Amino acid sequence: MPNHPSGVCIAVDAMGGDFGPEVVVKGAIEASQATGISLLLVGREEEIHKELAKYKTDKLPIQVVNASQVVGMTDKPSDVLRRKKDSSIHVACRLVKEGQAHGVVSAGNSGAILACGMFVLGRIKGVERPALATILPTEKNPLVFLDVGGNMDCKPYHLVQFGVMAEVLAKDLLGIPNPKVGLLSIGEEEGKGNILAKEAYKLFKLSSMNFVGNAEGRDLFTGNFDVIVCDGFVGNAVLKVSEGVAKSISSILKAEIRKSLLFRFGCLLALPVFRRLAKRLDYAEYGGAHLLGLNGTAIVCHGASNVRAIRIAIEKAAEFVASQANEHLVKGLKANKELAQFGKRAKA
């Protein structure tokens, strides 16, 4: 993976997330201390400076950019675009658009981030729909899974473009030279699935990707695929089910351990294993979801992101910039340009 050059600058929405500047600023400071990344902390100046004053930041390449408005979690994306142009999310995206920063990181309203990404940064030429890609832990290597909520309704050729973008992410950030790409469906055989899956399968077979066929839901965590593609409606549902299952298993396990002294003793012996497992399954390990297909780098963090998650998200944004992933993405789209045109003529 690439190192973080000091020339990379990331705009950080300091007002985003459930915990606001307190967590975001600390995570940003840790990222800058560890890697030398230049940061623009965007939001209400007084609140940001109050948090910065708690730490020694004089020698760090951190600047504060004032933004008077804050986007709430209930604000509609359209309202943010029209009425909150001086919000931290909007201003952070504008800094990237104007070339003052290379990427943006936010733990704020995901709908607002998607809207500002689309209409402030704009799409890469040839990209029909930007998509949200997350990285999931598996039994083997991490997996790129998309779309996890960016597009509720998709055409077959949209899924192919998602695959091209995810393939670049797997190569440039995960270091996988020839990612195995799968299409999420209800069976591994060709011809399984709804109309969208069947038509998309045909296009994937014609693409330049290393397409290995359909992936079933159980394949998400086996490590047999490096990339799994689906539409945003299915992807978001799958992601939230996975989060729910993980939390339920954790709660059940804790309840069972409390029932017996023997179980508690056994838990103490297995504590190192549990800690390693918790680290592998922790969403903070991967920072946030990448909004792929924009003229710039954008990472959307979980609203409940802690300091570590913010730090890692900033570092991942810098890695994405340094790896020239967007340039590679453009090449991948060009290689499949004719396929996309063919897909537009296909019925969905």
Report residue 2's pLDDT band, with 50, 70 and 90 as the boundaries: very low
User: Are 301 and 16 a contacting pair, CB within 8 Å?
Assistant: yes
- Region of 83 (left: φ > 0; alpha: ψ -120 to 50; beta: rest) is alpha
DSSP state of 300: E
Q: Percentage of residues in the chain with pLDDT exceeding 70?
A: 91
Tell whether the model's pLDDT for residue 333 goes beyond 90.
no
**Structure tokens given for 18:** 């459930």
Q: Looking at residues 308-322, what average pLDDT do you find?
A: 92
Report the chain's mean pLDDT, rounded to a whole number.
87
**Structure tokens given for 146:** 């998309």
Question: Which residue has 């990404």 as its token pair?
Answer: 117
The predicted pLDDT at position 219 comes to: 92
Phi, psi of 260 (to 5 degrees): -145, 140
Higher model confidence: residue 1 or residue 45? 45
Higher model confidence: residue 315 or residue 344? 315
Residue whose C-alpha is closest to residue 136's, from 2, 235, 24: 235
Q: Looking at residues 211-231, what average pLDDT do you find?
A: 94
Strand partners, 117: none
Kindly tell me the burial class for residue 213, based on how many C-beta atoms sit within 10 Å of its own C-beta (0-12, 13-18, 19 or more).
middle
Residue-wise pLDDT for 236-275, tens only, equals: 998 888 878 777 877 887 787 788 877 777 777 777 766 6
The predicted pLDDT at position 279 comes to: 63
Residue whose C-alpha is closest to residue 190's, from 208, 205, 174, 177: 205
Residue whose C-alpha is closest to residue 300's, from 2, 16, 1, 8: 16
Report residue 340's pLDDT band, with 50, 70 and 90 as the boundaries: low
User: Are 117 and 130 a contacting pair, CB within 8 Å?
Assistant: yes
Kindly tell me the burial class for residue 15, based on how many C-beta atoms sit within 10 Å of its own C-beta (0-12, 13-18, 19 or more).
buried
Torsion sign (Cα): 195, 196, 199, 204: negative
Domains and CATH numbers, the chain: 1-127+293-323 (3.40.718.10), 129-285 (3.40.718.10)
Tell whether the model's pLDDT for residue 125 goes beyond 80.
yes
Asked if omega into 147 is within 30° of 0 (cis), the reply is: yes
Q: Looking at residues 186-212, what average pLDDT do you find?
A: 92
The predicted pLDDT at position 4 comes to: 44
- Give pTM, 2 decimals: 0.86
User: Are 131 and 151 a contacting pair, CB within 8 Å?
Assistant: yes
The predicted pLDDT at position 317 comes to: 93
The predicted pLDDT at position 347 comes to: 46
Tell whether the model's pLDDT for residue 21 goes beyond 70.
yes
- Region of 181 (left: φ > 0; alpha: ψ -120 to 50; beta: rest) is beta
Residue whose C-alpha is closest to residue 246's, from 288, 283, 275: 283
**Structure tokens given for 302:** 């979980």
Residue whose C-alpha is closest to residue 218's, from 138, 283, 319, 277: 138
Tell whether the model's pLDDT for residue 93 goes beyond 60.
yes
Residue-wise pLDDT for 127-173, tens only, equals: 888 999 999 888 888 899 999 988 999 999 999 999 999 999 999 88
Q: Looking at residues 3-24, what average pLDDT do you find?
A: 84
